[in-house]
Structures are given as C-alpha cells and as structure tokens.
C-alpha cells in the first residue's frame, strides 16, 4: 500500500468513525465528552491499523463491527439498544459499500479507486442524515415493543446479500439492485420504528395527562370537602361560643381547654395536608398523601417552595409522579414502609430528596435498574430522565441495604436532586 492510499484510508476511516458517532447521537443520549473522544480514537485506531496492516475482507469487517460497538458504549442506554443499533449501522455500511463498489468496481486506477471510496462514505453519510431527518423530533429512549423485528430483518438482509454474492448467483447489476432494495428496506424499518415510537409516546403522554387530571381532581375534591367543613364550623360557631361562655362562668378551665382543643382539631382536619401555595405541588402531594394513608406508609415530607417555580406543571407531574410511584412500589415490600421527602427551592434551584425503605431486592436489565411491575421496563425513570435533561440535568441511582437512592442534578433553571 503506497503512501497516498494509506493517507486516503486514514481519512476515510476517520470520516466513517465521525459519521458513526453522529448516527448513535440520533438515538441515544450522550455521556461524558471525554468518553466520546476516547471511544472515537480507539475505534479509529483499531479499524485503521487492521486495514493498513492486513487489508483482508474478514478482518476489515470484524474490526469495523468492533469499532462500531466501541463507539456505542460511549452513549447512555441499555446494552440491548446499543447492540441493535450497532447491527443496524453495520447493515447500512455493508449495503452502501456493496451498492457503490459493484457499480464502480476496482479497475486498478488509484485516483478512480479513491473517488469510489469517497463516494461510498458519502453514501453512508447521506443515509445517516436521512435517519436524522426521520428522527429529528423523536425522543431518545430505549427500544421497546417489536424491536427484535428490526434486528432479525437487518441481519437477514446482510446475510442474504453476502450469501448471494459468495455463490455468484447474481450479476453485478443484480447485486447493486439488491443492495439498494435491502438498504431501502432497512430505512423503511426505521420509519416503522419511528411510527411505533410516536404511538408509544402518545400513549405515555395520555397516561401522564390522566395522572395530572387525577392530581387536580383530588385537590379539587379536598378543597370542596374542606370548604364544607369550614362552613359547618362557622355555622356552629355561635353554639361553640355559647358553650365556652357557659364553661367559663362555671370556672371549668380544664373543660374549656379540652373543648377548644377538639375545635382546633376539627379546623386542622378541614385544611389541606399540604398547602404550599403552588397548586401543582399541592395537588401532587395531597394526592400521594392519601395513597400513603391507604397503604399504611409512614411519610415525612418537608416542603419549602415558592408559588412559581419556573418549571411546567406537566413536567413537575412527570418527575414527582414517577418518583413517588417508584417509591411506593418498593416501599410496600419493606417490613417498615417509610418515605422521607425533602423539597426545597434555593437560588432558582429546585432540590428534591426522596428516600424510601425497600426489601433489598433490585431488578436489573443489563446493569440498568428497572421496575418490578409486569410489563413495565423502567419507562417511568426514562420519562424522569427526559424531563431532567430538558432542564439541563442529570440522574444518578444508588442504593444500600436499607435505602434506595436516586440522585438528579440539573444546572439550569431547575436542579432536581432525588434520593430514593
């Protein structure tokens, strides 16, 4: 391999790595920048060294797959999603290479081959940009539902292409047409998944809206009941005053104290448990307080917040609703069910600390903690992550023998820190 070809190979592999990185950014949330850099550097060196030193088809394919997997591991998400996306990326690379190199086969001319190589990488870039266009307004979330269909069809398309090529069943033109058709099929699969994701998000948003309406309905019901109690107390106030005067005239001080304590207790019962002035917060906290009482859960909640937080009520419902739901799911299995929450707003920063006891058992999927409810694979926490990222935040999960801890930290308008 002469110097010019070596330089071209290095440039092409560098471009391939950067395009692959852009591909994963479409679907997955990015992690630390330093991790991205090192994953791209490692992937670049592996693929380049293998190509320059060996330049054998099978070695090139294996090194390319390894390079793609290395880049994928720099992103957040489950291993399942990363493997699936890596396989789909490989299928795109292979089909684009087949389509270009069979259309413009090697004729021994170095300049010609260089142009063909750049055409191949340009074709790959165009396909990735099409995917970016398809998913430009989609949420970055885990693959769900019939995700395995994407994997099976993608793998089968590549195997079919390689098998027909190896057996020389198709002509060069036939191989080109088949490559383009299989590439189109894989792109249609992405569109299919995109539509499936839309339906999923629509369903989840409806569920969140229903939950929000439950919060408000519960708060309205509580307000109406409290208003009726206050009206009743006002209506009977003259009777209370007459009784207190009668007791005072008789010098029965202890009876007066007992009577006023009972009256004060009735007044306290007529008030909302949580009355911070923030309607969204009050609705959520009073709603879950009733659930705590129904499930005999000891709850200690300290709230110090202003009326206006600068965070949408819908987003707040998603964060608090899912975190309290997860806390309740875990705490009911504990011998001593207890939830402690500390919510404060300091310097345009919202801190939420929620800690709950649990039975010590944690369900994981590829080192990712998920819900233990049947059919629920951690979408609640995914929604929390999505909202926290919207406010430039981050989420951290920890646990010990007694407490399960979730930490969320944001650095923009709102910072949310959750210990669960």
What would the pLDDT profile of 336-390 be if each residue is shown by its tens digit?
888 988 888 877 777 888 888 887 777 665 555 665 554 444 557 777 877 777 7
Across 165-180, average pLDDT: 76
Structure confidence at residue 364 (pLDDT): 62
Domain regions of the chain by residue span: 3-136+144-205
The total of other beta-carbon atoms located within 10 Å of residue 42's CB is: 17
Closest by alpha carbon to 367, among 72, 27, 79, 35?
A: 79
Is residue 321 within 8 Å of residue 211, measured between CB atoms? yes
Please state the separation of Cα 351 from the chain's center in Å: 20
Token representation of residue 321: 């609703």
- H or E element: which one contains 352? strand 349-357
Structure confidence at residue 125 (pLDDT): 93
Structure confidence at residue 18 (pLDDT): 93
Query: Is 95 or 272 the better-scoring residue by pLDDT?
Result: 95
d(CA 153, CA 159): 10
**Phi, psi for residue 364 in degrees, rounded to 5:** -130, 150
DSSP string, 305-345: --S--SS-HHHHHHHHHHHHHHHHHHHTTSSS-EEEEEEEE
Structure confidence at residue 104 (pLDDT): 79
Structure confidence at residue 369 (pLDDT): 61
Question: Which has the minimum average pLDDT: 46-50, 114-118, 142-146?
Answer: 142-146
| C-alpha gyration radius of the chain | 31
- Under DSSP, is residue 8 helix (H, G, I), strand (E, B) or coil? helix
Closest by alpha carbon to 22, among 133, 128, 154?
A: 128
pTM value surpassing 0.85? no
d(CA 293, CA 91): 54
Indicate if the alpha-carbon torsion angle 352, 353, 354, 360 is positive or negative: positive
Structure confidence at residue 21 (pLDDT): 93
d(CA 374, CA 83): 24
Structure confidence at residue 223 (pLDDT): 65
Averaged confidence pLDDT in the chain:
76
Structure confidence at residue 351 (pLDDT): 80
Indicate if the alpha-carbon torsion angle 254, 256, 259, 261 is positive or negative: negative
Is residue 73 within 8 Å of residue 82, measured between CB atoms? yes
pLDDT tens sequence across 3-28: 777 788 888 889 999 999 999 988 88
pLDDT tens sequence across 253-273: 888 888 788 777 766 555 556
Across 56-79, average pLDDT: 85
Across 390-412, average pLDDT: 65
Q: Is the pLDDT of residue 197 over 60?
A: yes
pLDDT band at 233 (very low <50, low <70, confident <90, very high): low
Most confident among 45-49, 74-78, 283-287 (mean pLDDT):
45-49
d(CA 224, CA 277): 17
Structure confidence at residue 142 (pLDDT): 55
As a whole number of Å, the end-to-end CA separation of the chain is 59
d(CA 148, CA 134): 20
Structure confidence at residue 209 (pLDDT): 67
Structure confidence at residue 5 (pLDDT): 74
**Phi, psi for residue 335 in degrees, rounded to 5:** -70, -30
Q: Is the pLDDT of residue 106 over 50?
A: yes
Most confident among 147-156, 231-240, 267-276 (mean pLDDT):
147-156
- Under DSSP, is residue 201 helix (H, G, I), strand (E, B) or coil? helix
pLDDT tens sequence across 321-339: 888 888 888 888 788 888 9
Question: Which has the minimum average pLDDT: 126-140, 163-177, 268-282, 294-308?
Answer: 268-282
Cβ-count burial 197-232 (b if 16+ within 10 Å, e if not): beeeeeebeeebeebbeebbebbeebeeebeeeeee
Q: Is the pLDDT of residue 168 over 60?
A: yes
pLDDT band at 411 (very low <50, low <70, confident <90, very high): very low
pLDDT tens sequence across 205-217: 677 667 666 666 6
């Amino acid at each position: 391999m002469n110097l010019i070809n070596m330089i071209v190979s290095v440039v092409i592999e560098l471009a391939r790595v950067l395009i692959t990185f852009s591909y994963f950014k479409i679907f997955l949330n990015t992690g630390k920048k330093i991790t991205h850099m090192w994953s791209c550097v490692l992937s670049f060196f592996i693929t380049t060294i293998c190509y320059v030193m060996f330049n054998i088809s099978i070695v090139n394919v294996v090194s390319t797959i390894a390079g793609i997997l290395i880049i994928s591991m720099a992103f957040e998400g489950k291993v399942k999603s990363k493997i699936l996306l890596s396989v789909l990326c490989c299928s795109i690379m292979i089909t684009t290479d087949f389509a270009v190199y069979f259309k413009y086969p090697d004729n021994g001319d170095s300049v010609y081959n260089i142009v063909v190589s750049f055409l191949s990488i340009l074709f790959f870039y165009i396909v990735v940009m099409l995917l970016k266009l398809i998913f430009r307004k989609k949420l970055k979330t885990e693959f769900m539902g019939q995700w395995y269909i994407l994997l099976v069809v993608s793998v089968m398309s590549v195997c079919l292409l390689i098998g027909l090529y190896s057996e020389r069943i198709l002509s060069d033109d036939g191989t080109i047409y088949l490559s383009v058709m299989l590439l189109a099929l894989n792109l249609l699969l992405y569109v299919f998944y995109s539509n499936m994701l839309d339906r999923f998000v629509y369903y989840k948003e409806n569920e969140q809206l229903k939950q929000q309406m439950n919060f408000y309905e519960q708060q309205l019901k509580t307000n109406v009941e409290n208003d009726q109690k206050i009206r009743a107390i006002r209506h009977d106030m003259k009777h209370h005053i007459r009784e207190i005067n009668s007791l005072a005239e008789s010098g029965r001080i202890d009876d007066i104290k007992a009577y006023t304590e009972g009256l004060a207790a009735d007044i306290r019962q007529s008030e909302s448990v949580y009355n911070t002035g923030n309607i969204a917060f009050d609705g959520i906290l009073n709603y879950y307080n009733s659930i705590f009482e129904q499930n005999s859960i000891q709850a200690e909640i300290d709230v110090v917040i202003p009326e206006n937080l600068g965070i949408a009520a819908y987003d707040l419902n998603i964060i608090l609703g899912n975190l309290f739901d997860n806390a309740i799911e875990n705490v009911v299995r504990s011998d001593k069910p207890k939830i402690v929450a500390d919510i404060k707003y300091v310097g345009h920063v919202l801190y939420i600390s929620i800690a709950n006891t649990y039975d010590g058992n944690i369900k994981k999927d590829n080192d990712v903690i998920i819900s233990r409810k049947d059919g629920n694979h951690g979408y609640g926490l995914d929604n929390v992550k999505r909202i926290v990222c919207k406010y430039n935040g981050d989420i951290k999960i920890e646990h010990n023998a007694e407490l399960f801890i979730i930490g969320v930290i944001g650095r923009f308008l709102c910072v949310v820190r959750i210990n669960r």
